[in-house]
Amino acid sequence: MSWIVSLPCTRPEAEALSGEIPELDALVEAPVVVTREIDEDAGLWQLDAYMDDKPGAALLKLLQSFVPSAKGQTPVVAELPEEDWVTLSQQGLEPVQAGRFFVHTSSYADRVPAGTTPFLIDASQAFGTGGHDTTAGCLAMLDQLARQGASPRNIADIGTGTGLLAFAAMALWPRAKTIASDIDPASIFVTRDNAAINGVPLGRGGGGLGLAVAPGTDHPSIKHRAPYDLVIANILAGPLITLAPDIAAATAPGGHAILAGLIARQMEPVLAAYRAQGFRLAVRGGSAEWPCLLLIKRRRYGWRRKERAFHRASPSDASFGSW
């Protein structure tokens, strides 16, 4: 038998639980935590935690700590029948459409809209099902970049999670060489499985996806392939700032970087770190609370001198900002 623990929560609390949860990662048998909106008109949200064994007092206390708004409320603990509780947990994951992309779980496999590029990404140990604003913002930014005429030949997805953003980039630029990395080995296993499910070829050459377990860009395969025309990093503000020199070193002059995983008040510190490395902000996308930043690495020539273009910028160039 399996068990479910339910608690009411707010939308900000639900969004905060969409990414990595270190307190759960430290557990030997971590529950699967899913948040969902149960009443759109009333703005009511709920946390559901699925696990194999009956939860003890310590786990219940930990789950309650994630939702301060439910302080004083008793968690609802229920025993589930012998069913696939991972599938049950996915019933709260609505499909996401961002740009041309439609990201869904198995529950929605028969409801893919015509004209979209679909990806089947089930809930797993890795972050990045598309449901969070950061991932959806990156998908929309990739789509916008392609519509503006960008054609990167060498792409790196740093902190890939489920592999979704790397898959989306490969759908947009199928001839590009792409590598996806994550510090968590489980994420790379999940990415490999998702690649098979979605028909994404693995390999080192153009049109194939290379995989690497690595902290940031610190892996021989990532360094060997550099510099990149496009670097995607949907992680957290702290690691983004720490990795700014490494991401700058891995990005070709004139190349793009898509950064996400930060909240609005963290945008300026992140931008400051990347401006110091020669990047400029081209587009600020994403949601109000979860920005997605498109940066361009300035071209340089000579000794520490910025390269200035001698031609007039086209209208499409202007849409990416100026400096």
What pLDDT, in 10s, does the model give residues 238-271?
Answer: 999 999 999 999 999 999 999 999 889 999 999 9
* pLDDT attached to residue 93: 61
The answer to whether 194 is a known ligand-binding residue is no
Handedness of CA 196, 103, 176, 256 (dihedral sign): negative
* pLDDT attached to residue 132: 63
Task: Please tell me the distance from the alpha carbon of residue 23 to that of residue 256, in angstroms, as a whole number.
Answer: 34
Are 71 and 179 part of one and the same domain? no
103 in any annotated domain: no
The answer to whether 143 is a known ligand-binding residue is no
CATH number for the domain that contains residue 85: 3.30.70
Instruction: Give 92's pLDDT tier (boundaries 50, 70, 90).
Output: low
122 in any annotated domain: no
The answer to whether 159 is a known ligand-binding residue is yes
* pLDDT attached to residue 125: 43
Of 35, 59, 90, the position where a domain reaches its end is 90
Three-state secondary-structure class, residue 79: strand
What is the number of structural domains in the chain?
2
174 in any annotated domain: yes
> Is a pLDDT exceeding 90 seen at residue 91?
no
Task: Please tell me the distance from the alpha carbon of residue 159 to that of residue 251, in angstroms, as a whole number.
Answer: 16
Higher pLDDT, 92 or 255: 255
What pLDDT, in 10s, does the model give residues 107-164?
Answer: 788 889 999 999 998 865 444 444 568 889 999 999 999 999 999 999 999 999 899 9
> Is a pLDDT exceeding 70 seen at residue 309?
no
Are 183 and 279 part of one and the same domain? yes
* pLDDT attached to residue 321: 26
Residue type at 156? A
Task: Please tell me the distance from the alpha carbon of residue 178 to that of residue 221, in angstroms, as a whole number.
Answer: 11
Of 90, 113, 140, the position where a domain reaches its end is 90
Q: DSSP readout, 286-319? A: E-SSSEEEEEEEPPEETTTEEPPPSSPPPHHHHT
CA distances for 117 relative to 86, 98, 131, 137, 287, angstroms: 25, 10, 16, 16, 22
Are 79 and 140 part of one and the same domain? no
* pLDDT attached to residue 202: 95
Are 31 and 156 part of one and the same domain? no
* pLDDT attached to residue 14: 85
What pLDDT, in 10s, does the model give residues 164-189?
Answer: 999 999 999 999 999 999 988 888 98
The answer to whether 182 is a known ligand-binding residue is yes
CATH number for the domain that contains residue 307: 3.40.50.150
Give the distance, in angstroms, between the CA of residue 121 and the centroid of all CA atoms in the same chain: 12
Are 302 and 169 part of one and the same domain? yes
CB atoms within 10 A of CB 306: 12
Are 135 and 270 part of one and the same domain? yes
Are 164 and 223 part of one and the same domain? yes
104 in any annotated domain: no
Of 90, 109, 140, the position where a domain reaches its end is 90
* pLDDT attached to residue 250: 97
* pLDDT attached to residue 129: 47
Share of the chain above pLDDT 70, in %: 85
96 in any annotated domain: no
- Residue 256 belongs to what domain range? 129-318
* pLDDT attached to residue 109: 81
What pLDDT, in 10s, does the model give residues 17-74?
Answer: 866 678 887 787 788 787 888 887 788 899 988 888 899 999 999 999 999 999 889 9
* pLDDT attached to residue 138: 96
Are 209 and 72 part of one and the same domain? no
113 in any annotated domain: no
Q: How confident is the prediction for the chain on average, in pLDDT?
A: 84
* pLDDT attached to residue 2: 79
* pLDDT attached to residue 124: 55
Are 147 and 295 part of one and the same domain? yes
What pLDDT, in 10s, does the model give residues 191-211?
Answer: 999 999 999 999 988 999 999
